Structure 1
Amino acid sequence: MSVSSDSTAGDGFEHATEESVEPLSRDKIFHILQTQRRRDALRFLKETGGTVEMRDLAEQVAAWENDTTVQALTSDERQRVYIALYQSHLPKLESEGIIRYNKSRGIVERGPLADQFDPYLDTADESDYEVEMEDGESSDDETPWLRYYRVATAVGIAVVAAAWIGVPPVSFVPNIIWDVLIVASFTALSLAQLLTGDE
C-alpha cells in the first residue's frame, strides 16, 4: 500500500493556507453516508491518514465488502468496486469538499470536511444511517439511475425486436422514428442525471 503520512507540495493537490470549514447539516452527512462504499472509503482514509493511491483504497473497500483480504480478492471484485469509486463515489465526495481527489494521478486524501464524518464512522451499528434518513432513500450501492437505464434498455430492445419482426402497431411506425425516440430517451435520462447531480 502506498501511503504518504504528510501532504507536500508535490502531492498533486493544492492546499489553501487557511480553509474556512462550514459545518454540514446532519441530513447532508447522513445523505453522504447512506452508501456503504462511501463509508468504507472515508473509514480507510481516516485510518491511513495522508495521501493514498486510489487503487489501494479501492482494493481495501472491495476486501471489506467481500469479507476477505486484499490478497484474496478476485479481479472482478476489484474492478467492480474500482469502477464505482472512480466514476461515482469519489467524485461525489470531492464535489462536497469531503476529500481531495486527483483523478489523473490516481491519488486521494481527506478534505477539509472529512473530520465531520469521523464520529459516524466509529459507530458500530451501520443501520443508523438508514434510520436517520428522512427522505426514504435506499442505502443500496446500486443507484436508481442504473435501474432507469436498465428499463430504458429493455424497452428499447423490445421495440426494436417488435419492429424487426413486424408486430403491429409497432411495425407501422418507420424505424427511424423508433431510433430517434430510443436515442432521445437515453439523452433525457443522462441530462436528468446530470442536472440533479446524482451519482
Structure 2
Amino acid sequence: MAPTASIDVDLASEQRLSDDKVFHLLQNRRRRAVIRYLRGTDETVSMRDIAEQVAAWEHDTSVAALDSDERQRVYIPLYQNHLPKLDDEGVIEYDQSRGTVKRTPVADQLERYLTLEDDESATAPPSEPAADETADEAVDGGDDWIDAYLGATGVTSGFFLAAVFNVPVVSALPNILLASLMLVTFATVTFAHTVFGATSEIPLPF
C-alpha cells in the first residue's frame, strides 16, 4: 500500500482549477506575489515572512528598510483575505492560528501564467475588474478611521467626565451646549469619513 502522504500529493496534483478561478486568483497583485514567493519551495514558511517580502517588492526596497505601517498594510489583507482564498482553492495550506503557509502542487497551475519577472500585465485580462484591489485599499485605510472614531470617543468622554466632576469652565456650560459639542464631534468624523472615503488618510485634529 502506498504511503498516505504520497496519495495526498497525487490527489492535489489531479485537482484542476477552472480558467475562471485561475484568472480570479491571479488578478490580484498580492496573490500573484505570494505565488511568486512560494515558487520552488515545498517547505512550510512563515506568513509574516511572506508579508514582509511582498511589502518590500511593493515599495521597491528591502525587508530591513520597511517601516511598521508598510508591513501592516500588506500583512492585514493577506491574513484576512488573500491567504484564506488561496487555501480555499487548494493552492496553499494555510494555518491561520500558527501563521504558517505551505505550497501545494496546485500552485503549478498558477505559476505557468507568471513570467520570470512576474510581469503584471501577463496575469489577468484587462477587462477583469480588480475588486480585491479595492478591498485591500479599504482595509489599508480602515485603521486610520478607527483611530479617528476612538479619538472622538475620547473627546466626548472627556467632556462628560469634566461635567460629572464639576471641572471649571466645562461644568459651567449649559447641558444642551455640552451635548451639542459631543454630537458635533462625532458628526464631524462621520461626515469626513463619508466625504473622503474609507481609504483616506487625512489628518484629523485628535
Q: TM-score, normalised by structure 2?
A: 0.57
In the alignment, which of 118, 123, 126 is matched to residue 129 of structure 1? 123
Task: Tell me if 1:71 matches 2:60.
Answer: no
Partners of 2:131 and 2:107 lie apart in 1 by 20
Runs of 4+ in 1 over 3 A off after TM superposition: 144-147
In the alignment, which of 75, 90, 109 is matched to residue 83 of structure 2? 90
Structure possessing the higher radius of gyration over alpha carbons: 2
Quickly say closer, same or farther: Cα 1:145–1:65, change in 2 above 3 A.
closer
- What's the CA shift string for 1:110-130, capped at 9, x where partnerless? 124111111122254321334
Provide the residue aligned with 1:26 in structure 2: 19
Provide the residue aligned with 2:169 in structure 1: none
Quickly say closer, same or farther: Cα 1:66–1:104, change in 2 above 3 A.
same
Partners of 1:112 and 1:85 lie apart in 2 by 20
- What's the CA shift string for 1:120-170, capped at 9, x where partnerless? 22254321334x266x312762229949xx9xx9xxx9xxxxxx98xxxxx
Quickly say closer, same or farther: Cα 1:117–1:85, change in 2 above 3 A.
same
Quickly say closer, same or farther: Cα 1:139–1:40, change in 2 above 3 A.
farther
Q: Structure 1: where are the runs of 5+ without partners?
A: 1-14, 158-163, 166-199
Residue identity (%): 50
Q: TM-score, normalised by structure 1?
A: 0.59
Q: How many residues align?
A: 139
Pairwise CA RMSD: 3.2
Q: Structure 2: where are the runs of 5+ without partners?
A: 1-6, 150-178, 181-206
- What's the CA shift string for 1:78-112, capped at 9, x where partnerless? 01101110000000000011100011111101124
Q: Answer 1 or 2: which has greater helix percent.
A: 2
In the alignment, which of 45, 58, 65 is matched to residue 38 of structure 2? 45
Quickly say closer, same or farther: Cα 1:74–1:17, change in 2 above 3 A.
closer
Residue type at the aligned position of 2:56: A
